Amino acid sequence: MAWAQTSPVQNVERMFHFTDTPAQALPDVSKVLRTIAGVRASIDDDARTITVNAPADQSALAEWLVHELDQPRGRVPVPAIHEYGGVSPKVLWVPPDETVMKLFYPAHADTPLALIEMITAIRVLADVPLLEPYNEKRIVALAGPADAMVVATWVFHDLDQPPARELTISAYKAPIRVREGEDQVVRVFHLAHVRAKNLGELVASIRNKVGASSVFAIHAPAAIILRGPAAEAAQAENMVKEGDQPGPAAKQLEAR
């Protein structure tokens, strides 16, 4: 009996030259390439180059990422979302044709903390597995199953806003199915009166009284994100409405 032999995957070596990226930012570029494209890179600080040796599909994705990340600051009007249009490599448990790679360019997340909090929100609310910030140009790189990336795009647009003048509650259009347990809803509470230093206390109260574990604070601008059963979201909404009040209610929360 003759057995069919699979040809070994041939790697492609590519060297990328950077023109609008300082040498000190190249390690962060390398992290993005490793997280999103699954490639390891060698850096030459003096020449401002990164070299990768990977299969053709991963090298092509790395080339697209480098092209995007090496754009001059301010070249891309924000907010913006750029999506990879090539053949997705096998970097997830889902088939490549069900994997989506995107770059988010926020308009209001202008600090490293703000980018990290946006990543936390996307990970919690959309369950996207691969995320990496690029602080030099204020970019969030991410990859995940197509359905999760739809939720991630909604989260990005909803969070990338100026501070709220009044309490605003955003709800994703449909419940999210989970493998075990109830369907989950997604909520973002944009706060107008609770100060940043009191956000942690309000979130802790929601966790203790409601039992919601997937609830987190966003500080820039002030918001609370939640993913969980509808009953928990309703209880949390009542607590947020009670806590995010002008005058005495806000002072009482601050004095606790």
For residue 211, tell me if it sits in a domain.
Answer: yes
Q: What angle do CA 5, 11, 12 make, to 5 degrees?
A: 145
For residue 255, tell me if it sits in a domain.
Answer: yes
- Per-residue pLDDT of 65-98, as tens digits, reads 999 999 998 899 999 999 999 988 888 877 888 8
For residue 1, tell me if it sits in a domain.
Answer: no
Instruction: Check: pTM over 0.95? Answer yes or no.
Output: no
Structure confidence at residue 5 (pLDDT): 52
Structure confidence at residue 6 (pLDDT): 53
Residues of the chain falling short of pLDDT 70: 1-8, 247-256
For residue 170, tell me if it sits in a domain.
Answer: yes
User: Phi and psi dihedrals of 99, rounded to 5?
Assistant: -105, 135
CATH number at residue 236: 3.30.1360
CB-based burial of residue 174 (10 Å sphere; 0-12 exposed, 13-18 middle, 19+ buried)?
exposed
Q: Where are the beta strands (DSSP E) in 109-255?
A: 130-134, 139-145, 168-171, 185-190, 215-219, 222-228
Structure confidence at residue 255 (pLDDT): 46
For residue 215, tell me if it sits in a domain.
Answer: yes
For residue 68, tell me if it sits in a domain.
Answer: no
**Containing domain of residue 228, as a range?**
163-256
Strands of the 222-228 sheet, one edge to the other: 168-171, 185-190, 222-228, 215-219
The count of structural domains within the chain is: 1
For residue 240, tell me if it sits in a domain.
Answer: yes
Residue 133: partners with Cβ closer than 8 Å, 6 or more residues away: 112, 115, 116, 119, 139, 140, 141
For residue 43, tell me if it sits in a domain.
Answer: no
